[in-house]
């Protein structure tokens, strides 16, 4: 299980929060692709979009990305966390250590890109990303299905 910090306006936990709806209706997080099907041991880039003009620096961003297992277990595993522009790598779940990179250079363009390398079958599941500023926030999710690689075929 994972433990989230208390972000400025929202309390995050292991279950998807219904309170994460934009108060103004103008800050919306969308997925670039709603589902991915990848082969085991390959790489995948997950991408979420949000309004680019909401903050002037990454210090105004609070981002949490977690994976909810595809096995029915609702406990989440933290992939990536950014708190006031600082990456919180110690919160990353053991399953993803050394395999997740965020493209921080595109955050101010309204893009949250996570690269997951060496995907495993246990990486299949629902990937949830919550993006918050000091005044607003929203979330979106996508599904990742990892196909076992064919071993021993000649």
pLDDT digits (tens, 9 = 90+) for 13-47: 433 343 344 445 689 999 999 999 999 999 999 99
User: What is the per-residue pLDDT for 66?
Assistant: 96
Per-residue pLDDT tens digits for 97-147: 999 999 999 999 999 999 999 999 999 999 999 999 988 999 999 999 999
User: What is the per-residue pLDDT for 76?
Assistant: 87
Instruction: For strands 125-132 and 62-69, give the pairing.
Output: antiparallel
Per-residue pLDDT tens digits for 64-104: 999 987 566 667 899 999 999 999 989 999 999 999 999 99
User: What is the per-residue pLDDT for 69?
Assistant: 74
User: What is the per-residue pLDDT for 149?
Assistant: 84
User: What is the per-residue pLDDT for 2?
Assistant: 39
pTM attached to this predicted model: 0.80
User: What is the per-residue pLDDT for 71?
Assistant: 62
**Class of 30-147 per CATH?**
mainly beta
User: What is the per-residue pLDDT for 15?
Assistant: 36
65 or 12, which is more confident? 65
Residue 8: pLDDT band with limits 50, 70, 90: very low
User: What is the per-residue pLDDT for 53?
Assistant: 86
User: What is the per-residue pLDDT for 94?
Assistant: 95
């Amino acid at each position: 299980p994972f433990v989230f910090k208390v972000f400025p306006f929202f309390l995050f936990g292991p279950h998807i929060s219904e309170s994460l709806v934009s108060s103004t209706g103008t800050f919306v997080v969308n997925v670039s692709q709603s589902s991915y099907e990848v082969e085991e041991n390959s790489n995948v880039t997950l991408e979420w979009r949000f309004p680019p003009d909401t903050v002037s620096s990454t210090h105004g961003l609070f981002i949490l990305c977690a994976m909810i297992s595809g096995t029915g277990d609702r406990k989440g595993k933290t992939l990536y966390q950014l708190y006031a522009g600082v990456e919180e790598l110690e919160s990353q779940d053991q399953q993803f250590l050394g395999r997740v990179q965020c493209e921080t250079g595109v955050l101010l363009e309204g893009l949250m890109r996570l690269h997951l390398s060496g995907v495993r079958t246990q990486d299949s599941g629902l990937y949830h990303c919550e993006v918050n500023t000091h005044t607003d926030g929203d979330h979106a999710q996508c599904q990742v299905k990892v196909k076992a690689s064919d071993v021993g075929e000649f």
